[in-house]
Amino acid sequence: MKQTILRLAAAILISMHACAWAGTIFKCKNSAGVTQYQEKPCEKEAQAISSWADTSSTKLEVDEDSPGAENQTLVLAQGQGGHYYIDGSVNDNFLNFVVDTGATIVALPLSFASSAGLKCKQKVMMMTANGQAQGCITTIDRLKIGNFTLRYVDAVMQPNLSQPLLGMNVLKQFRVEQDNGQMRLSRKY
């Protein structure tokens, strides 16, 4: 499963390589040793992760009905195989994402995307573990995780994908910290 996810992430990066150089997210450790993802270079040696240019009009909103939502931090416990999982919804259809810093863009199984009412905007060819596969670029009207709602999120629909991936086009909207088997997502200010 881990290899399939990594290969899919690599395939998405390869298939969209023309867009991948537009922005960079840097994976850094602060003075306390906590991993952070940021748009500016690290102060010391860092691992840079290419990210897809945000050409969509993605907007991050906070559920105002929840007390303290403005300052909410989502805390995820490290799960099976060292991965982080987060419950969410796409157009009010619930699912469980793997948080994937190696995925450039949100990736959804085609069957789920169809049930969520997503339509193909553009067909793309990708290299997967099973060879070339056709996928579709789409736009999610409303993606919700915790008290955060993102609007107009680009995603790829993949026919042979079994686990939805929460990619960097969403993660770069947040401050991401990882330490002691926990990942914390909070709003950037």
Please tell me whether residue 147 adopts helix, strand or coil conformation: coil
Residues with Cβ < 8 Å from 189, sequence gap 6 or more?
Answer: none
**Residue 129: its pLDDT value, please?**
47
pLDDT of amino acid 130:
54
> Higher pLDDT residue, 143 or 71?
143
Write the pLDDT tens digit of every residue in 31-87: 666 656 555 666 654 444 333 334 445 666 766 555 555 568 999 999 988 999 999
Question: What pLDDT is stored for residue 37 in this prediction?
Answer: 58
pLDDT tens digit sequence for 99-133: 998 888 899 999 999 999 999 999 987 655 455 77
Q: For 35, phi and psi rounded to 5 degrees?
A: -75, 130
Query: Looking at domain 2-178, does it have CATH number 3.40.50.300?
Result: no
Please check the confidence at residue 165 and state whether its pLDDT lies above 90. yes
Query: Does the pLDDT value for residue 17 go beyond 60?
Result: no
Per-residue burial over 14-28, b if 16 or more Cβ lie within 10 Å, else e, is: ebbeebbeeeebbbb
pTM of the model: 0.67
Q: Of 98-107, 122-131, 155-164, 165-174, which gets the smallest average pLDDT?
A: 122-131
**Beta-bridge partner residues of 157:** 108, 136
The answer to whether residue 135 scores a pLDDT higher than 90 is no
Q: Does the pLDDT of residue 18 top 90, yes or no?
A: no
Token pair recorded at residue 75 = 């805390």
| Residue of 38, 26, 45, 65 lying closest to 144 (CA atoms) | 65
Query: Residue 12: which residues within 8 A CB-CB, separation 6 or more?
Result: 103, 104, 105, 107, 126, 156, 167
